Structure formats: C-alpha cells, structure tokens
Amino acid sequence: MIQQKTKNNIEKSTQRSYPLMKGLMVLLICSQLSACSDTSIQKLEGAAQGTTYHISYWSKTPIDNTAVANAVKVELDAIDKTLSNYRPDSVIEVFNSTENTDSQEVGAEIVNLVRIAQTVSVASQGCYDLTMKPLFDLWGFRGEAPAMPDEVVINKLQSRIGMAKLEVIDDSHLRKQQADLKVDLSSIAQGYSVGEISHVLEQLGIIDYLVEIGGELQTRGYKPDQQPWRIALERPLPGDMHMQKRITMPKDTQMAVMTSGTYNHYFDYQGQRYSHILDARNGRPITHDLVSVSVIHEDPTIADAWDTALLCLGQKDAMTAANLAHIPALFIQQQGTELIESKSDALNTLDKITIE
C-alpha cells in the first residue's frame, strides 16, 4: 500500500490509501453474516488485491453461505495468482521478469484484458497504457515514499513503454517486442475481478447482489424490501468523505460503476500536487483540473479501463473520446473551491439509472 510520508521537502498527504483504490465511496446496507436469514442481506468482506472487498447478497431460496464464502475466496486467490503485480510468482509477473521477445503463454484472462486495454489506449490517444510500470515505480506510487524523479530518468524510461510493443499472438499468448517491457494490470484488474466474483454468485443461484472491490462495484437485482441498490459517490477532495452524488441502480440488469480520481493517491512537492494518474505520452502526472471520472457500464472490465483513460485525458479530450465510443461517464472538475459536473452523451441518455 502507499503511505504518504513527510520526507525532505515532500509534504505529508492528507490520506492513506491502497494501491488500487481509485475513489468510490459505497453505501452498503448489510447485517452480520451469522445473524442473517435467507431473505436478509448477507455480507462478506475481507482483504484482497491490496485493498478491501465487500459483498452483499440475498436469495429467495436457501443458500449455503459457507459455500458462497469459500467460492469467493477461491476465485479471489485465483485472480491474485494470475494478475497481481505484487507477487513475483503471479502469471503477469513471470511474464514481466522473462526478458526476451519470444511468445509467452499467459492465459486467456490476461490476453482478454490486454485486448480491451489496447482498444482503450488507441481511443485515448496513447494516454492510457498498461506498460507504464517502470514509470509508476520511478515516481514511487508503488512504494512507500512517492518522490519527484529526475527529468533525465523520466525521459530515459519513456523509451521502455508503449502498448504498441505488446503483441497479442493468440487467445493465450503475448509477445514483447522489447525484452524489458513490463505490464501493470492494476488499472483494469479490479473491474475484471468484480465481474468474476459476480459470476461466481450467479453460478450459485444468487441474482440479487452488490459486489465491491476497492471502491469499484457491480450490482444486479434489488434488496429484500424490493428497493434498488443505491450507492454514493464521494466528493473528489482529499479527506472529504461527504457524498457528491447518489446513484440508484437498475433492478432488471447488472450494472457496474467504476470511478477513478486524483484525490486518494498523490504527493505534494514545492507547492505542486502530483497525482498517481500518469500520462503515458510524457511519463508525468496529469496537471489538468479533471479530478474524478465515473463510468457506468454493463461490463465492469471495460468500465474500469475507461475511467482511468478518461481521467488521464482531461475534460475536453475525455468528453470527445467518451462521446465517440458511446461511454456513459460522469466528469467532475475542480476549479478553485468549486466542483463542476458534466455528463457524456451516453450517460445523458442512459435511462436505467438515476443520478441525484
């Protein structure tokens, strides 16, 4: 996890945050698991992927809650062994550490994520890029003490990144066109994980649920009192846990809400704030006034990639990209003490949800 520390002339951040949490406050209305009957909301929670997860569900028919908990744990462990950049034995880290340009087997999961990321990268004009791992490491956003790196080193590392250098060979193989290429899946892995845990619940016969990992979530159905799931987006300001918007989710379909923000991961240096959102085109943190993007989409993996990409682009280019790709997105800019909201065309016409 990232802990902002006072060191030299780096000022202490106002928050402690986890490496994958991107900025969504969720209202969970649940009771303790052991105290629930079949028609009460069940609750599972714990630690995963460097952050926390919360799962709420209920069923009209009897459900073995112990079996649900075990299935969720098995799936989270499997995802961790495949996608985690924090364990050297994961599939993605074995790929990263194998420095050659041969075809490598990584499995269908990773290839599918790369294909989605390639599409989003092109749509974001290269701002979004999975191969920025060396730059995240350089800026310290994967360690304990983020710091201002040397300009020469930033420019040197730029030659080591680029989605065009990552080639999909087939449905289970990737190839590096540059041997020292490194892939960081954190900008898309949580959305994928939310979707996979949702699938686990559905395979067990659960069709009314809310799954949240690190602030990213998906819902389906409704609560036992027939009311829809409601979630709250927090104000995109450091240390401010007040609600900015409330979203009423649809009852008749699954829907994901993914939010990326600049207000949880950052450090201050000589009066300038540096966000963990890096622009792959220059290797530096974004400097525009767009501080939060929420994407609402039926596919949590697609939503997770797009919220980061849109935040990277900034308001004008992000709105253009979202409209071209028909992505439902809520944008929040910070201008002084004022927060300014705007919606993409697809969000304005999305009648499955209510935002208030």
> What pLDDT is attached to residue 1?
25
The reported pTM is 0.88
The DSSP annotation for 158-211 comes to: HTT--GGGEEE-SSSEEEESSTT-----HHHHHHHHHHHHHHHHHHTT--EEEE
User: What does pLDDT average to over the chain?
Assistant: 87
CB 47 within 8 A of CB 301: no
Is the predicted pLDDT of residue 145 greater than 80, yes or no? no
- Rounded Cα gap, residues 226 and 245, in angstroms: 22
Question: What is the average pLDDT across 108-124?
Answer: 98
Q: Which two tokens stand for residue 206?
A: 């659960």
Triad 329, 83, 45: Cα angle to 5°: 70
- Rounded Cα gap, residues 318 and 132, in angstroms: 20
Triad 116, 119, 125: Cα angle to 5°: 135
Look at residue 130 and give its three-state secondary structure. Answer: coil
CB 3 within 8 A of CB 16: yes
What does the DSSP 8-state code read for residue 164?
G
Domain 82-186 has CATH 3.30.470.20: no
Question: What is the average pLDDT across 155-174?
Answer: 95
Q: pLDDT grade, residue 51 (50/70/90)?
A: confident
Closest CA to 132 of 243, 2, 279: 279
- Rounded Cα gap, residues 82 and 97, in angstroms: 14
pLDDT-above-90 percentage for the chain: 73
Instruction: Spell out the residues 6+ positions from residue 25 whose beta carbon is closer than 8 angstroms to its own.
Output: 215, 232, 233, 234, 241, 243
> What pLDDT is attached to residue 142?
67
Domain spans in the chain, listed from the N-terminal domain onward:
82-186
Is the predicted pLDDT of residue 11 greater than 70, yes or no? no
Q: Which two tokens stand for residue 293?
A: 């993007």
CB 251 within 8 A of CB 222: yes
- Rounded Cα gap, residues 78 and 50, in angstroms: 15
CA 345 to the chain's CA centroid: 22
Is the predicted pLDDT of residue 28 greater than 60, yes or no? no
> What pLDDT is attached to residue 239?
67
